[in-house]
């Protein structure tokens, strides 16, 4: 007479077989290993200095990132003429959320030897210096609410606008999710013109604890 296996033993064998066959789940967000300048932007433009700054900040390239459904990465880069550059990256996953804030001084010119009239010419630039980098966990609900706010503003449907002057600021917004990569960029938006970018930028700066204390630094 053949022995009969108990239902408990069968369940145990089934669980062990499933554990052996299962593969580790891929991360919700995977950044590309390539950190060359070309990895950070779909096409070169007149604001290549912002792309250089993002790379020098140690930020990951968002184009080409793999993102599972339900996850999103949103990054705001604020490149001002007279103050440190700021990057606020919002990382939203199904069960957790965080904000990564980085600040860096702008590149500085390297001056050559004075000529006979006493003038000097810049012969290069020195890299910016990272002066702040921190990451803070947030409530997933708060991050999803902010993502919905940006969608309601119509931020991602605003056409980008090229640089419009010498002194001012570049406001660059990037998003990557399961549907791909999107970028919107303006030169010095304000509450009237480019209000979608203005409102979105202030919300992200506040979230990252990087909102300036004085109005003269907000441009």
Q: Express each pLDDT in 167-197 by its tens digit.
A: 899 999 999 999 999 999 999 999 999 999 9
Q: Give the pLDDT of residue 216.
A: 87
pLDDT digits (tens, 9 = 90+) for 73-91: 999 999 999 999 999 999 9
Q: What angle do CA 145, 79, 173 make, to 5 degrees?
A: 35
Q: Give the pLDDT of residue 119.
A: 62
Return the percentage of the chain with pLDDT > 70, whole number. 79
Q: Give this prediction's pTM.
A: 0.81
In the block, residue with structure tokens 């991602």: 156
Q: Mean pLDDT lowest for which of 23-37, 49-63, 71-85, 187-201?
A: 23-37
Contact 61, 35 (CB under 8 A): yes
Q: Mean pLDDT lowest for which of 51-60, 121-130, 145-154, 207-216?
A: 121-130
Q: Give the pLDDT of residue 23.
A: 52
Residue 217: closest CA among 169, 163, 161, 170 = 169
d(CA 148, CA 151): 5
d(CA 78, CA 85): 6
Q: Give the pLDDT of residue 102.
A: 98
Residue 4 has pLDDT above 50, yes or no: no
């Amino acid at each position: 007479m053949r022995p009969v296996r108990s239902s408990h033993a069968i369940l145990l064998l089934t669980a062990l077989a499933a554990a052996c066959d299962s593969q580790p789940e891929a991360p919700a967000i995977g950044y590309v290993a390539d950190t060359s300048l070309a990895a950070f932007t779909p096409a070169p433009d007149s604001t290549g200095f912002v792309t250089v700054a993002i790379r020098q900040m140690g930020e990951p390239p968002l184009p080409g990132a793999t993102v599972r459904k339900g996850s999103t990465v949103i990054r705001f880069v604020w490149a001002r003429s007279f103050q440190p550059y700021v990057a606020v990256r919002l990382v939203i996953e199904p069960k957790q959320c965080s904000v990564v804030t980085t600040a860096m001084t702008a590149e500085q010119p390297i001056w050559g030897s004075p000529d006979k009239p006493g003038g000097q010419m810049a012969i290069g630039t020195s890299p910016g210096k990272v002066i702040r980098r921190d990451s803070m966990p947030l409530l997933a609900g708060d991050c999803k609410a902010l993502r919905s706010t940006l969608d309601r503003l119509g931020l991602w449907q605003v056409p980008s606008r090229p640089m419009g002057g010498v002194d001012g600021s570049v406001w660059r917004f990037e998003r990557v999710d399961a549907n791909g990569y999107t970028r919107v960029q303006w030169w010095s938006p304000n509450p009237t013109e480019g209000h979608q970018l203005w409102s979105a930028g202030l919300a992200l700066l506040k979230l990252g604890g990087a909102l300036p204390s004085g109005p003269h630094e907000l441009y």
